Every structure is written in structure tokens, then in C-alpha cells.
Homo-oligomer: A and B are copies of this chain.
């Protein structure tokens, strides 16, 4: 397996594009993205667990009921949620796009991201579709990446190539963060494409299993979005024998998918609203996998720990505090904590009590852009990783007046 280029166009038969159609006020910002497969593809998806759901989710769920799709259209700037006529708008979008592409309306996935509670104007989308379709290209993933961004500061894409059944396959994904992100849901918007041949059922199985250890282990701010979804399209153009059950090929596929999703998780966390640092909490030595996950997520969600990391302050007491209130069954007297970055590692807590450590060395480590908080519970064999970011002035600034 190797990392490659091209985002959602890395896999054979996929093209993409993104334009500014007029939903966002800033004309410099693309606000409509399209991903297209030249043949119908197996499709799988996971969705937000928020009871308040964006209108596009209902339409997409209906369209994916048969496990097939051929195009994904997504606007930014408006979530099409908690408003009047949201579903109608999403359906009109699908209908117009299907017409323009000459595909079935039910093979269109529709998604929206942005402000909640305002009517989504259909006109700019319908007017934009011809330009969007005309611009489709196999080298234009970057335009789609831009089109789905909200407060994201960087485009996010990861792609890998791997071999199955003697054929070269590729998986590529793009994502948008960057606020309203919290574990226990499908999380954020992620669109993944692959030319690997795999049945809808096995694709759904791969995705549902993977998100438990990837997107569900990311938290930026504890707020679960109303519009999250992760969608995978597999068009089979790599020519491998279709994966229809477990086995070596499925394992290879899972591993490749995981490389893409972990890559996207790290990109999303690093670009969390206002973030200056990527935080990773690696928990080992847990009695159960659930304990490992609960502890990792609790640490990554702690506002106090996040603020301390912003200040490069080795305030490990807050890490222990977050473990203590996580609800996980741990023996506090066995816990070890280390801070790790490219500058090295420093042990700060052993058996639940503070160690004497060099504040200077700790500062040097914590001033880096990627910090790992290493927690060993010394109580079993299970481990887990969660991703997040620091809490900064800019998070407050961005969210203090998001709508203007």
C-alpha cells in the first residue's frame, strides 16, 4: 500500500469539481461540489446520531436504500436544516443534477453544511449545475475539497493505492471539519471513492466498522453536528473479482480504507476551529476496548486539557482529572502519563502521582504542532487512539459571531 495523490479522483472513473454558485456571500469561496462516477457504484454511508437532522440526510438515506449511487452533490454555507421546504430543495437538487448527468435521481447523494435554520435558496444551486457538470475532471478533486469547506482553513484529502486480486486499486477521500464535531456519530462530511469492486453489503460493513475507531474518535468541541455523514462509493473499475465476503481481500480493503480515514481524522483534528495543534491521546493497558476508548475520548474532550496544550503547559493533573470523570472503570493508582512530540517524550505521572520533571523539557515538547498524550492504565491489554485539538482564542473568535 502506498500514499498517492488525487483525492476523490485517485480511483479510476471518478471525476469532481467545485464552483461558487452564490450561497455564500464571499465570491472567492466555492460553495457547491460534485463527485461523479462514470458507472453506477456500490454505496455505503453512516449518518449523524443527532435527533435534529439536516433535510439532505433524509433524501440521501432514501436514495441509498438500494446500496447504489453515482454522484454526490454538496453545498456549503447553509446546512438546509430546521427550515421550511428543506427536503423539497434537496430533492429538486437531485432531480436537476440527475437530468444534467443523465443518471437516475435516486443515484444522487445530497449533502449540505453551514448555518442551521435558514431556508436554502434552490436557485443558485439549480443555476450552477450546468457549470458544475461541465467542469468535471479527473484532476479536480481540489475544487470539490474547497467547495465543501466551511470554517476549514485547509483542504483535506488522502488517497492510497493497494493491490487486490492482482489488480491495482485506489481509495481516496475528502473531508470538511471543522467545528461541531464530537464522537459517537457518523461525524462531519467525508466523501470516499474507490475503484475496488466490492458489494454494497461488504462496503457498508467495512465503513461501519471503521468509523468506530476513526471518525467516532475525533472531537473538536463536543458538539455533534446535525448534518454529518460519511459516504463511500465503490465503482469496481479496478477490475478485481468483487469482494462479497470476509477474507484476505476484505482485510486488505479494510486496511487501505483505514489509512485514508485515519489520515482524514488527523487532518480534521489538526484543522479544528482555531486549532494550533493536533492532539492525539493514545491509551494502552486497558481492561477492555470500551474503557480504552472512553478514556481516550474523555481526555481529548477536556476543555481544560485542551487549553493547557494551547499554552504548552504540562498540566497533567487535568489529564488525570478527565480520566477520573470519564466514567470508565480504571485504577487511578496504576496510571502513567507521558507527553510526546518530535522533540522527545517526558514522563509526568507514574502510578497516579506526579513525577519530578523538567518544566523546560516539557515546554520544548509541548510547543510542537503535534502532541501525543500517552496514557498507560497498566491494567490490561486493550488500547485506543482519539484525536482532537487545542482550545484557543480563535475558537472563541470564530464561533462568537459565525453568522456574520
Contact = CB atoms under 8 A, between A and B. Distances in A.
Contacts of A51: 323-325, 330, 332
Contacts of A318: 116, 223
A137 to B, nearest CB: 35
Interface stretch (A128-136, A142-150, A299-307): A299-307
Contact of A307 (B83, B349, B396): B396
Interface in A284-322: 301-304, 307-308, 310-311, 313, 315-318, 320-322
B302 A223 contact: yes
A194 to B, nearest CB: 30
Given A52-B332, A324-B51, A324-B52, A396 B399 contact: no
Contacts of A396: 307, 310, 391-393, 395-396
A152 to B, nearest CB: 16
A82 to B, nearest CB: 6
Interface residues of A, number: 63
A325 B224 contact: yes
Given A83-B353, A303-B399, A396-B396, A117 B320 contact: yes
Nearest to A317: B116
Nearest to A224: B325
Contacts of A403: 313, 315
A180 B315 CA distance: 13
Nearest to A352: B82
A400 B321 contact: no
Nearest to A116: B317
A301 B402 contact: no
A179 interface: yes
Given A182-B325, A332-B51, A222 B224 contact: no
A49 interface: yes
A401 B325 contact: no
A157 interface: no
A315 B402 contact: yes
Residue picked from A225, A307, A349, most chain B C-beta under 10 Å? A307
Nearest to A404: B313
A161 interface: no
Contacts of A49: 325
Interface string A35-53: 0000000000000011111
A67 B117 CA distance: 53
Interface string A364-404: 00000000000000000000000000011101111111111
A31 to B, nearest CB: 18
A179 B318 CA distance: 11
A118 B307 contact: no
Contacts of A392: 396
Given A51-B324, A303-B399, A82 B354 contact: yes
A254 interface: no
A281 to B, nearest CB: 15
A300 B117 CA distance: 19
Given A116-B317, A222-B301, A349 B82 contact: yes
B402 A321 contact: no
Interface string A160-193: 0000000000000000000110100100000000
A107 interface: no
A84 interface: yes
8 contacts: A49-B325, A53-B324, A84-B353, A115-B315, A182-B325, A222-B301, A311-B399, A313-B401
Interface of A: 49-53, 79, 81-84, 115-119, 179-180, 182, 185, 221-226, 301-304, 307-308, 310-311, 313, 315-318, 320-325, 330, 332, 349, 352-354, 391-393, 395-404
